[in-house]
Structure 1
Amino acid sequence: MSTRWYPIYQRGNPQLRVFLPNFWMKLVRPLPKQMPNIVNFQCSMEMTKYDIKNYLEKIYNVPVIDVRTKITMGKFKRDIGRGYVTKDDDIKYAYVVLPKGQTFQYPDLFEKSKEDEEENMKSLDEAKKSFKKYIERNKNRSDVPSWFSI
């Protein structure tokens, strides 16, 4: 099931065609804690359980034991000014079970280092000092707005 328009076959070699899937999957961190061998994905609504299993096995070489899907309804919102109702898109979640010995750990994208923490503390101290200086400079000028000072 493909909605892409692929070029028509032409004589001659090589045939420069790459068939890409129309589907997408996004790795999602689950809200409640789950078993270490269960991974959550958001996927396109057109994907079936078999499509998800084949997608992960063929493209990423991930062995899959079971796939369960859930469709959540998008939120309804009322426009205050005009009064009409809009609805967000529905979302399909896929819960993929990996083999018993495999575990999945979500990558730590924003790991903190001690150097970053020291820099943050220095910049915070500088900001505090400059704010105290600003307050001291304008404490006796209650009738003049703060943005007016030089």
Structure 2
Amino acid sequence: MARNVPLGNPQLRIFRPNWFMRLVRPGPPEDTRMTKYDVKNYLEKIYNVPVGVVRTRIQYGSNKKRNHLNQRVKQPDYKVAYVQLAQGQTFTFPDLFPEKDKKVTEGSVEEMQEKFMEDEKQRQRLDPRRGGVTEWFGL
């Protein structure tokens, strides 16, 4: 008995993740409902980052603030994931905004900003004849 086999190549399926993730420097973390296995698979399959260990924890939101009616306001809870790379692997954050070679042209905005900043620094310098006493403290 022959099976009914479709002709040609099989249908290619693309599975998109249900979550989005950003690699961020230490700071206020993002909210994620992913498990540690989801995080590991996501980083390995999508970003090709070799993951060694993933540790997660729940950060509880603050409950100390009060609104204008003196009612407690609770900040939302969020999950934090700490990812340790595989042995011998390193990761560097990409330089998204590299410094461009600044060529200051005559009459440009950059030149005017630089001149303004130099004038401000000169104006804020203390007068050596006053002995370190500020200008507003005078008779």
Q: Any stretches of 5+ residues in structure 1 without a counterpart?
A: 1-13, 32-40, 130-150
CA shift in 2, pair 1:128/1:97, >3 Å: closer
Deviation at 1:88, TM superposition (A): 2.0
CA distance in 1, matches of 2:73, 2:53: 35
Say if 2:56 and 2:81, in contact at 8 Å, map to a contact too.
yes
CA distance in 2, matches of 1:70, 1:107: 27
1:30 matches 2:20: no
CA distance in 2, matches of 1:73, 1:97: 23
The structure whose residues are more often helix, as a share, is 1
Identity of aligned residues (%): 49
Decide which of 115, 118, 121 is 1:125's aligned counterpart.
115
CA distance in 2, matches of 1:43, 1:54: 18
Q: Deviations over 1:52-104 (max 9, x none)?
A: 1111122222221111112212233211x212222222221111111222111
Deviation at 1:126, TM superposition (A): 4.5
CA shift in 2, pair 1:117/1:25, >3 Å: farther
Q: Deviations over 1:13-70 (max 9, x none)?
A: x989754322222212126xxxxxxxxx7451x2111111111122222221111112
- Normalised to the residue count of structure 2, the TM-score between the two structures is 0.57
CA distance in 2, matches of 1:52, 1:114: 39
Decide which of 46, 51, 63 is 1:59's aligned counterpart.
46
Aligned-partner residue type, residue 56 of structure 2: T
Q: Which moved more, 1:106-115 or 1:52-61?
A: 106-115
CA distance in 2, matches of 1:97, 1:127: 44
Decide which of 77, 98, 123 is 2:85's aligned counterpart.
98
Instruction: Kindly tell me the number of residue pairs found equivalent between the two proteins.
Output: 105
CA distance in 2, matches of 1:117, 1:109: 23
Q: Any stretches of 5+ residues in structure 2 without a counterpart?
A: 1-9, 120-139
**Higher relative contact order by CA 8 Å / sep ≥ 6: 1 or 2?**
1
Deviation at 1:112, TM superposition (A): 2.9
CA shift in 2, pair 1:101/1:43, >3 Å: farther
- Normalised to the residue count of structure 1, the TM-score between the two structures is 0.54
CA distance in 2, matches of 1:97, 1:69: 11
Structure possessing the higher radius of gyration over alpha carbons: 2
